[in-house]
Amino acid sequence: MLTDAPLDRSRADILKRLQASVVRRRSVAPRRAISSDARVAHLHLVISGLAARYRVLGNGSRQITELYLPGDLCDLGYNLNGRAGDDVVALSACILGEIPRKILFTDSALSPDWAEFLFRAVAREGAIATERIVSLGRRSAYEAAAHLFCELWARMNAVGLADETSFPFDLTQVDLADVLGMTSVHVNRTLRELRTRGLVRVRGKVATILDHGALAQAADFDPTYLQMHEALSAPARSDSQWYERSIYHQSGRGPARSTRIEPIA
C-alpha cells in the first residue's frame, strides 16, 4: 500500500498520482537520517512511520521544526531550489517513496489540480509552522503540549491512523522536549498535569485523548489551519470550542467515507 491507512477523498486522487511517480521505496530505521542539507534529486513521501525535520545549534541542542506523517512530502517546501534544507530523521521505522523532483517542478504538463495540491501543501506546512512558533513564543508549556496533541490526533485521523480517542505516538520525551522547546523534565511534568486533569494519557507508543473538548479548550485549538475539512471533527464528548468550530458541526455533514489507494505494482 502507498499508505497503511485510509485517506480522505480530498487527498486520495492526488496521492494516487504521487504513487505513480514513486520510483523507489526504501526503509529507514528509527533515528536514521532521511535527508540532509545537500543537493537532492528526489522528494520523499512518507508511506508509513513518523519523521521529523530538525536543526542542531552550535551548543548541541536540537529543535524539531516539523513532524511528517504518512501522506506527507517531507521536503516539499525545502526542495524548490534543489536543496533539502535542514536534516530530516526517522523518529520511528519509516517506509519512504522517492519521487523525482523534476516530475513536480519541471514538468510542463503540470495540471491545475496538481498545482493547487502543491500550493495547498506548502501553505499547510506554513500554517503548521506558524502554530509551532506561537506555541514556542506565547503558549504556556501546558497549552503548547495540549495543542500538539490536538494537532497530532487531527492529522492522524485524516489518514485513518486514529480512532475516536487514540493514535500511535512514537515521540519520546526527548523528542517532545525538542518539539516544544522544553527540557525533558518539564515535559514529564506537563504530561503528568495533562493526565491528572483527565485530558491525555500516554502509555507505551499510544496516546489517548481522554476528553477532546476540554483538551481543545485548554489549547484554544482551531483545526481549520490543517485544511483537512473532511476529517477534522472530533467526537463531541463535551461542550467545547473544538466542536463549535469544527467543519463537521457547522455544515451538518457526516464524516467522509475513507478511500484506500491501490498498491504499488
Three-class HEC string of 142-206: HHHHHHHHHHHHHHHHHCCCCCCCEEECCCCHHHHHHHHCCCHHHHHHHHHHHHHCCCEEEECCE
- The alpha carbons of the chain give a radius of gyration, in whole angstroms, of 18
pLDDT tens for the chain, residues 1 to 265: 233 344 445 556 777 777 778 899 999 999 999 875 444 678 889 999 999 999 999 999 999 999 999 989 887 766 555 455 578 999 999 999 998 877 766 654 566 767 777 788 888 999 999 999 999 999 999 999 999 999 999 999 988 899 999 999 999 999 999 999 999 999 999 999 999 999 999 999 999 999 999 999 999 999 999 987 544 445 544 433 333 333 223 333 333 333 332 333 3
Write the pLDDT tens digit of every residue in 145-160: 999 999 999 999 988 8
pTM exceeding 0.75 = yes
Q: Who contacts 87 (Cβ-Cβ below 8 Å, separation ≥6)?
A: 33, 35, 36, 37, 53, 54, 55, 56
Q: Give the chain's domains with CATH numbers.
A: 9-108 (2.60.120.10), 139-251 (1.10.10.10)
Question: What grid cell was written down for 168?
Answer: 500511535
- pLDDT at residue 253, as a whole number: 31
Among 207, 204, 206, which Cα is nearest to 146's? 207
